[in-house]
Amino acid sequence: MPSPKTTQKRKRLSLDLTPQVKLRIEKLRDSTNAESITEVIRRSLATYELLCDAQANGKSIVVRDSDGSNEQTVLLLS
């Protein structure tokens, strides 16, 4: 999913990642067909923000198998 073009100024960041973390990001890029590592990080940030907002508003975050079994509640550190 390509990111929308914006006229906002961009800021370049330099990240100091372990090789294992870089590999995890690259695997996510490949498995999600993201166009870049930057897109993976943007999507991850949006997901994390959604989860944190839900938890801050008293909502539970639950992961289930497609058949509804094996329910697991996700707890985020605040």
28: exposed, middle or buried (C-beta count within 10 Å: 0-12, 13-18, 19+)? middle
Question: What does the pLDDT read at residue 71?
Answer: 86
Tens of pLDDT, residue by residue over 6-20, are: 678 989 999 999 999
Q: What is the pTM of this model?
A: 0.76
Tens of pLDDT, residue by residue over 24-73, are: 999 999 999 999 999 999 999 999 999 999 999 999 888 899 998 888 88
CB 31 within 8 A of CB 43: no
